Structure 1
């Protein structure tokens, strides 16, 4: 009986992760390795580190592919991930997606979005 409840819990958790109910689901598996990056990914530099970004997920190159990593604070991305939500903090607009907060900025005459750390409950 105990095995059945473990299987049920694992299935429920998997479904919740897939539909985005668990905060920061993309970052819940930082050891997940993918062989090929999704089409349309962009390269993002934070300091001297190079990341690949697509739809709210950040990747770093490793032997055999790319590993999913936490969103690096300071990363600037050209487009928000799908299903983000608008958050207002002290009169400023931010965007939140799976626990990652983005602040709109102007870059090269266009709006871009920087990953920031806010110390407030959203």
Structure 2
């Protein structure tokens, strides 16, 4: 009984977007409600929602998890990032997504980059 309850709880968490690592690993997954604390970010003129390293786009019936858009600026790094040094520059990496620290509107922020283009 307890194992079944735990399994149902885990399935509920994954389907509601509460596990950023699982969500990032499964792009195109649709969630009905965005996680509490998400922020709106833009990459060019495209609007995204961001939370804990996961990016979402609105679709009919909810929001779809998408790959991190190059050019998006996020206010905070996801928990569990690692520091990477490339050609004397500092980057932060989380789930294969690279962020470069920048100043944006007078505050520290992080730009999603494609290291192959940024070098």
What's the TM-score, normalizing by structure 1?
0.75
State whether residues 26 and 98 of structure 1, in contact with CA within 8 Å, keep that contact through their aligned partners in structure 2: no
Count of residue pairs brought into register by the alignment: 98
For residues 85 and 55 of structure 2, the distance between their equivalents in structure 1, rounded to whole angstroms, comes to 25
For residues 30 and 55 of structure 1, the distance between their equivalents in structure 2, rounded to whole angstroms, comes to 15
What's the TM-score, normalizing by structure 2?
0.77
* Structure 1 unaligned residues grouped into runs of 5+: 1-17
1:45, distance to aligned residue in structure 2 (A): 1.1
Match of 2:26 in 1: 29
Match of 2:97 in 1: 100
State whether residues 34 and 67 of structure 1, in contact with CA within 8 Å, keep that contact through their aligned partners in structure 2: yes
1:54-106 CA distances to partner (integer Å, 9 max, x unpaired)? 00000000000000000000000000000000000011100000000000000
Match of 1:112 in 2: 109
Deviating above 2 A after TM superposition, structure 1's stretches of 4 or more consecutive aligned residues are 25-28
User: Which of 77, 81, 85 is the aligned partner of 1:80?
Assistant: 77
* Structure 2 unaligned residues grouped into runs of 5+: 1-18
What RMSD over aligned residues (CA atoms) do the two structures have, in Å? 1.6
